[in-house]
Structure 1
Amino acid sequence: MLTKKEKELIAYLDKKDRWITSDELAEYSLCTTRTIRNRVAKINQNNPELILTSHLGYQLNPHANLPTDGTEDRKSRIFLELLKHSSYGVDFFDLAEMLFISESTLKNDIQQLKKEITNDAIQIVFYQDYIKLTGPERAKRRYLISLLYNESDVQEKLKVSIQQMIGYISLEKLQQTIQEVLAEHTIQINQYSLNNIVLHFAISIERIRQGHSLKKSLNNNQLQSNSEFLIAGEISDKLAQQYDIHFSHAELEQLSLLFIGMQNETLTNQDSQQLSSFVDPTIITALKDVLAEVERTYLVELHDEEFFNKLAIHLQSLYYRSHYETFTRNSSLLDLKTAYPLIYDLAVYISSLIQDRLDIWFNDDEISFIALHIGAFLETQKHFRDQVTIRLIVNDYHDIGSNLSKQIEEHFGESIDIVVTEKWKTATNDYDLLLTTDRETASDYAGSVFIHPFLTSKDVKKIEKRIDSLKSQREKRKMYQAIEKFILPELYFNQIDPAGLRPREIRKQLNQRMVQTGFVDENFSHRVEKRERMSPTSFPSGIAVPHSVELEAIKSGVAIMTLQESLIWADHPINLVAYIAINKDEANDFNEFFEKFIEIVSEPINTKQLSMSEDFDEFILRLKTMVDADE
């Protein structure tokens, strides 16, 4: 199902009969070029080769049909109608007429829906001309939640879906009621958690109105006496008064699970001594040990009291939730894994250590929340590493030189390091970019930029363009060098037939080659399998990147395997496998390569082209071409 933003992107391309650069699309969509690349990758995932990519940018494929959201929308509506009429079922012919589709189309949609329902407790059955949804009430609700969350853009579409579900009840008022009760308990929550709570209350309201209230209690005496049950009761009382809806005891027990572990977020600014009064000391100690281990392994410093406190409070909440397995859904999970692979991988490593030390388990969604904590912290700590050294040559150093230097620094900040030189002095080669107010000097030095003694807006644009070009060329050179260093012919498996093979057997084969060539030791595969169990390393674009959470390879390298046919790897069809080994001493260089590599293979068309390479040389050539095009 296309999101609103994806539809807007396609519509924009459809209007333009030419190649559109990522910069132009980013400016139109008010986002970054990375977001555009990820958005195009998602569109092409379900609509192969709809958007063509090249070094010129993006263009709609003139031979492809523009997608419609009909099938996915209809399946959601079919399930909602079946759920709404689950007591008696719904007439097959009436349903086809209601959806404005033919009977054969409806039959195909129902067959697809039946295949997609993986919960064996739920069944779609036919009784003469009627279709009926059978199964336990809790199982139906769980599937409805997963169906709604699987919509591509949950932040935009979830509100519409919920409002349609609860009908005359105002979604805005429902959300406001929940927030008011939480505020009375001095609890502030993020939008993800709020969406999760609103969704569950909306489903309860709809099912109660349809006569399907939960009746079987969880029989948890501790749950009934805690503050979470009280919060669920207070919200339910307000809704009962407003809309004359009665919540059973079993409903309140179920809803109270949503509030387990919630803390007052204002406490995140307290010092460590106060932190121990509302976070279990065991969790504090475990988190200190985990972050120390992260620093030793990843060489990433995470020293910050506010970051520690926020993460500790989150872990306290997660610790509670893990005991009931009532995890919060995160609609940004796939975006995080694709756009920020290193941050997500760091979160996976932290999660594995936390699970071991606290003896708990949690899912991918919760791992992504830890990634959000890490990403937010690292963003505030980010500094410009790749400064451009500028030599400014002027006729009059004392006045014009100093003033120009200040103006340029105001525009470009810490991304540059500027040195001023008078014209009569000999220019050295210790610079990346030469700026000058002298036209003769500008013509003598290739690549230099002439600027006016009093900086103009046109001068600023010229400098900015030249800096961007220099950085781009620098990144390309570094990426070429990394490709030649880390992707080697002795680690290349060409056009393997995956018939009868499972993902684990492929990982074993790749690991064996790495052991034979001296990249990893015999125990490396155990660490890779541990990482795979934490969160599958397959991507919707058609690639899997199995690797270890520790940086314990003998030397860094990437074993590549192209497949003749797709292999299902954790729900994704895979045509390309990149088995990763990282040595601690090479981590910084490898991570820069890895992040760029993931950006490239996140686009399905790139992965498809790489997987079709007939030999190692063709694979490397195609990969380098994609580096050039990925501007």
Structure 2
Amino acid sequence: MITKKQEDIIAYLTKNQQRWVTANELADFCKCTTRTIRNQIAKINERNPQIISSSQGYRIKKDTENKRAFGNNDDRKAQLFVSLLKSTDAGVDLYELAEKMYVSESTLKNDIQVLRKEIKNKNLKITIKEERIHLEGTERDKRRYMISLLYEEGDYQEKLKFHIQDMIGEISLNDLEQTIHDVLAIHKIKINQYSMNNIVLHFAISIERIRQGNNLKVGNDFKLKENSIEYQLSKEITTILSKSYQIEFFSAEVKQLALLFIGLQNEYLANQKESSLTDFVELRFIETLKEVLMEVKETYLIDLQDDSFFNKLAIHLQSLYDRSQYEHFTRNSSLLDIKTAYPLTYDIAVYISMLLQEKLKIWFNEDEISFIALHIGAYLESKKESGPKLRVFVDINNYHDFEQMNIQNIRNRLGEDIEIINVNGHKFDIQENDVYLTSNREKATEIAGAVYVHPILTRKDLDKLQKRVVAKMKSNWRNQMFLLMDRFVIEDLYFNQFDPTNSTPESIRKKMFNKMLSEKYVGTNFFETVEKRELLSPTSFPSKIAVPHSVKQNAKKSAISIMTLQEPLHWDNYSVNMIALVAISQGEAKEFNDFFETFIEIVSDPINVQQLATTESFSEFILKMKMLVEVDE
């Protein structure tokens, strides 16, 4: 596997392939010594001779350019898309982007062609006008493609291990992880892989910091006592590492590492309650991090609202703040510019870092941002397989252990999408279950919706079962959306074909608020919080809908009030044909947001808004919405 530093060398030489580049210049760019440059170039040429050396310096062979410039083609594709996503209106200057990606203009144009083909069936389009690149399409389609790219980066666990190993050099990653595991096992503490990766990462950071001669300082008000289980775990591990690798862990470093073990005493509870978390993390950091993660959800449609992730990142933020006050930042030599490994995850980390720096009035460098990216990547990996499961009841003759063999085959085919239940002749209510699988023809005939299979499952049986499971999952999701729509889109709050003559956006918001107030969905302070949100950023969209809402979840009951207009109304930057005033009750927030995400996806498309805005009654509006939900599956 090519290392990050080798990718940097190749990228820089590719960009400057028309001239000789000295070892000193490369060393400055890669932030390393000229000796490291010579060694890395030798390793590159061992795998694929592509760099020429002379007394004048180094040059890359011209036929190398399209093989590897800024990472690989997928990396550049992701970076290109994010650049266009963030600059939709103005577009991106072709030459400036080529400079940023360390590629020639011709390579960038080739990458644009590749991305054009990729998004052709995603309802997106790339155009170039006067040397500026533009991305065209609906917000929904752009975000959907961005999220698909994010998960394509995937394999975070393996990449994380590779980067940690690169960081700790000759120290074995497996030995480091095993040392931590063995100490935890002695204390009867269980841990999942996400938590282990997080702990190993921070020990690697600590090792790198010590090697650089940066000794961490912690004030006298450090609240973790030396007789605590967390401190003892850290002390035991660092003592073993000190003896094995001749590394001296100072007291402040041991205390800081001890924070990683908070909440692990009981199984793998990283869900530390906030009252306990404030013993180690300043309250202002906790509150700021909550705000930042909410903004990430709104901007990227990525939900990072998880107790385990939050507490680990909060502790990391406290440590980062302490380093910014007392010490130089840890230079992350192996993870520098980690966006080449996970460009979109890194983009989210940059956004988080920007918000933290603004809100907390601190500054930290790109090396520190890369650690936040790894927190996000490891968390996304831990959640990747999560999702709703269907209950599949298996009622198959167990002659010669056929049933167990069949169950294993089903698991191999359907993976984590289902929960398999053995019927074993017990009575059950088919209405309470999702899929009933049987090798009994009589039962298959009697029970509606049953799936008949052979005693030994064939490939066709598995295909049939998989189709039924997929169809059932879609049906369950669709029915859930219909129920939530009927619950939250309220007929008494519906305004049909309202005439906006002499009306303003504010007067319309007031009219819709008054109706919500009279129907007891909101209190008197709701309108003030809606107007506050509107001042922060207008809620009209290019798809010709406005979705005003409060800055708080302060409604008495969750609801959406719909108003369709006889003619367009100018609402800040856009004309709108429809308004959806949203009220969210904190107690109903989770269920409401499940539906609201689908609602926003639908109304992000101007064609959908046009169809909804021209309906003549509430019943027609709901019917059209349900039809669009089915199309959106």
TM-score by length of 2: 0.47
Greater RCO, 1 or 2 (C-alpha within 8 Å, sep 6+): 1
